[in-house]
Amino acid sequence: MPELVFFSGTMDCGKSTLALQIEHNRSARGLQGMIFTRDDRAGEGKLSSRLGLVTDAVEVEDGRDLYAYLVDHLSQGGRADYVIADEAQFLAEEQIDQLARVVDDLSIDVYAFGITTDFRSKLFPGSQRLVELADRVEVLQVEALCWCGARATHNARTVGGVMVVEGAQVVIGDVNQANTIGYEVLCRRHHRRRMTAATARAAALSPDVLPVHQV
């Protein structure tokens, strides 16, 4: 039976790389897929991974009906044996409903990839709807690591290396950027303490050390 599968995880856990691998494996067997994405780091209409792999995709805009897009594509003689939706956390809830309808009414597998929570540890609406509707939710097993070496479970937004907890839910950036908006994965403890790699390094280099009394 066709399925709606949600592959989730933090940043840096290989979601886009897996999406590209699924695309490669299926296209190598003569299957043709439809790839949707939104706000990819490589630019509009691209699906890319941090390993340098990239392929063309359909950019999902506000208000685009994904089910209607597939129906129109098929009615014009196009082919879609499967659907990949990367950066699915940025999709609207109704667009997730449309992907579920693709599975149920068109009998096409849909593989959605996305971050579950934002930099405030709040669910993205698209990810929440996927958790509610997906036939399966797969947490990726490639563990991203916090700067301390522990398993990273939270996404943090940084400005000049300093963690921030206010602002718009969606601001496009990349990991470990300096002097600009960036993102970093942290364990829960350091996310709660708002301690990034940069602030931890600054604390370690601080001259304000505890006094030592000689006896």
Catalytic residues: 87
What is the rounded distance in angstroms from the CA atom of residue 167 to the CA atom of residue 206?
Answer: 29
What is the rounded distance in angstroms from the CA atom of residue 57 to the CA atom of residue 156?
Answer: 27
Closest CA to 60 of 86, 41, 42: 86
- The secondary structure of 20-56 as a DSSP string is HHHHHHHHTTT--EEEEESS-TT-TTEEE-TTS-EEE
Which tokens is 142 given? Answer: 């490639």
Q: Rg of the chain's alpha carbons, rounded to an integer?
A: 20
Which DSSP letter does residue 123 get? B
Enumerate the H helices of 135-192 as residue ranges: 188-192
